[in-house]
Structure 1
């Protein structure tokens, strides 16, 4: 015998819940050249959305020059401080997300992000979305595994008490969609750039957060739990 369990919703943060990607792009476009690594906000949006900051820096180092040993720590600290100030002053929720979260409130929900936990908390506080998640925050920096590695989503699911097939990943970035599919979860791709990005096979593409409740309702709303 098996029991029915509601789908567990695992949300990415940046670009999925909060409109932080352009802020991050602008901060990186300012600070990376200060450390001798040519970079632009457009480059972040085109090539690096959702990618771990250290990976971005390492990629730029391979193209241009290697930072002095102690410079990465300073670079990251300065970037985080500037980003937090921008978020607290300017950050807003992705259009349609507050209403969608209210409509989905009967589902268990968590945030699963490649960002540090402090940044996730800042984002949720700045946009008044934190009450939907009640501390169910899973940071790659805490768990020491980054998307596109599927283990980040798998660890979050296990901590929430759900199997991968009982979970739905909602993510806007290619690295997150890839991670969710590889984790064996159902995936909804919030595609902000339909003219430039293609939703991968196996994922469900939506163009606006207002479509999210219907997309989830169209999935199996009761997935049998493993015996």
Structure 2
């Protein structure tokens, strides 16, 4: 385990993927808005953005089943496979990094960094390959599907930190979705909320709110200074 953070032990940065590193949320919303109604579950892209950003796909489907009707037996596997295939095709053709993220990752290259996502590992890898961000996170991808725990459960972030050899207090969670911010705070980590919708969403107490990725280096520098002063 790493020692307490100081000037020679940079804070470990745990990035969410969708909506934080890559601009995939609208693509996912559109794919879900297409395929869920095909299986008898009314849904729109706007509904995903308003209600379900960052939420596990199975949880979204279960919520819709309670509201409308249960899927036929065995239909979920077909639905999920279709959603994943359509999403991967869209990502490879259209996905871009969140504005400012490529430059920010270069600026923060002295920090250990990992991706911690509610998505499957294949989707994470596809996202990073499609946006040429993968070299920042080699061997440091943590998927909820692999670890069998999903945000807002804080255990996902805790497991990632432990695997990397850092305590929660040495980690900074960077996440755009409420479920990820909640998970990071509950894990006892520093949290930076990349708030894309400041007129609609409020950054929770205990988290640092920023509106653009370009603000990340300064926010992390301030955290590093404050943590070192507290040691």
1:78-97 superposed matches below 5 A: 78-97=82-101
Corresponding pairs, count = 226
Structure 1 regions of 5+ residues with no counterpart? Answer: none
Residues 150-183 of structure 1, C-alpha deviations (whole Å, 9 max, x = no match): 0000000000100000000000000000000000
1:128-143 superposed matches below 5 A: 128-143=132-147
Residue 135 of structure 1 and its aligned partner are, at CA, apart by: 2.1
With over 3 angstroms needed to count, the CA separation of the structure-2 counterparts of 1:221 and 1:108, relative to structure 1, is farther
Structure 1 equivalent of residue 36 of structure 2: 32
Contact 1:7–1:223 (CA under 8 A) maintained in structure 2: no
Contact 2:174–2:192 (CA under 8 A) maintained in structure 1: yes
Contact 1:166–1:225 (CA under 8 A) maintained in structure 2: no
TM-score for both structures, normalised by structure 2: 0.95
SS of residue matched to 1:128: coil
SS of residue matched to 2:62: helix
Residue 68 of structure 1 and its aligned partner are, at CA, apart by: 1.1
Residue 5 of structure 1 and its aligned partner are, at CA, apart by: 2.4
Query: C-alpha distance in 2, partners of 1:143/1:69?
Result: 26
Structure 2 equivalent of residue 158 of structure 1: 162
Contact 2:10–2:224 (CA under 8 A) maintained in structure 1: no
TM-score for both structures, normalised by structure 1: 0.96
4+ aligned runs moved over 4 Å, structure 1: 221-227
Contact 2:19–2:176 (CA under 8 A) maintained in structure 1: yes
SS of residue matched to 2:192: strand
Residue 69 of structure 1 and its aligned partner are, at CA, apart by: 1.7
Contact 2:100–2:212 (CA under 8 A) maintained in structure 1: yes
